[in-house]
Amino acid sequence: MSALRVRVWRGGADGAFREYEVPRRESQTVLDVVTHVQRHLDPTLAYRYSCRVGMCGSCAMTVNGAPRWTCRTHVDKVARGERLEIAPLRNLPVIRDLVTDMREFFDKWARAQGQFRGERGRRDDVARVSPDSAKRRLADVGIECIGCAVCYSACDVVAWSPQYLGPAALNRAWTLVNDERDAAQAARLRAVAGDAGCHACHTHMSCTERCPKGLSPTAGIAGLKRAVAVAALKGEL
Ligand code: SF4
Ligand code: SF4
Ligand code: FES
């Protein structure tokens, strides 16, 4: 059996790579490699995962220089020869080894008014939104986000401007802008219209290229720019 030479980030932001030798196996994922290191070579390695099937969004890391979900990334697709380099996500504080602090990432969802604000109480009839409505279809395009922060890590504007809300929070805001039941539209558009909001996006497309769920935060951000402009012209902001 051949072996992979795997460089894994150890320590905090000022840490360094340490090299391990991991047996190469058929259909092996990058998460399998990290798990092998932790279970068989170095139990002090810190990393994070939960579902292993591309649903929870907790396993994202930087693999050979690019952010990826590691549970669905096959070694065959990303290894350079027999080499892998695995580091924590960029643009987030490193807690230890491969674990990043996600608080700022999710705080930005709140700052972008990424929570649904309904008007109905439990005694009201349920709201009915037609699956064919134009807004429902726009919301559908961005709704499958798993909060993995791959797009956030890929975004150079986040790296340059740490206040920038970033592609995931803005994508979430766009799905809610298209939610016909939501009652906080003006507040949401005001939240994304500021200097740290949608107009800071340079349309680099890195978020869209990297999103493992095939979403396009870039398109959602463009939609927010249009919605903000329309609301401003109507004097609603
Ligand atoms: S399109 Fe906008 S949000 Fe996406 S990576 Fe580029 S600058 Fe960042
Ligand atoms: S938009 Fe895509 S890359 Fe960004 S957090 Fe959601 S699923 Fe992950
Ligand atoms: S472990 Fe849940 S998405 Fe990878």
Calpha distance 91→74 (Å, rounded):
24
Q: What's the rounded mean pLDDT across residues 2-11? A: 97
Q: What are 63's two structure tokens?
A: 């693999």
pTM of the model: 0.96
List ligand 3's pocket residues with C-beta within 6 A.
Answer: 49-52, 54-59, 69, 71
Return the residue whose CA atom lies nearest to atom 3 of ligand 3: 54
Give the pLDDT band of residue 237 (cuts 50, 70, 90).
Answer: confident
CA of 17 to the centre of ligand 2 (A): 27
Give the pLDDT band of residue 232 (cuts 50, 70, 90).
Answer: very high
Question: Collapsing DSSP states into helix, strand and coil, what is residue 92?
Answer: coil
Closest ligand by atom to 211 CA:
2
Question: Collapsing DSSP states into helix, strand and coil, what is residue 22?
Answer: strand
Nearest to 150 by CA among 221, 76, 223, 71: 71
* DSSP bridge partners of 211: none
Q: What are 72's two structure tokens?
A: 């669905």
Q: Quick one: which atom of ligand 2 is closest to the CA of 152?
A: 4
Q: What's the rounded mean pLDDT across residues 189-205? A: 96
DSSP 159: H
- For a ligand 3 pocket test, name from 34, 47, 50, 211 the mutation site with the most ligand atoms within 8 angstroms of its C-beta: 50
pLDDT tens track for 200-224: 999 989 999 999 999 999 999 999 9
Question: Collapsing DSSP states into helix, strand and coil, what is residue 61?
Answer: strand
pLDDT tens track for 66-81: 999 999 999 999 999 9
List ligand 2's pocket residues with C-beta within 6 A.
Answer: 145-151, 167-168, 171, 211, 213, 215, 217
Residue 1 has pLDDT above 80, yes or no: no
Q: Quick one: which atom of ligand 3 is closest to the CA of 70?
A: 4
Contact between 173 and 112 (Cβ < 8 Å): yes
DSSP assignment of 175-225 equals HHHT-TT-S-HHHHHHHHHSTTSGGG-----HHHHH-TT---HHHHHHHHH
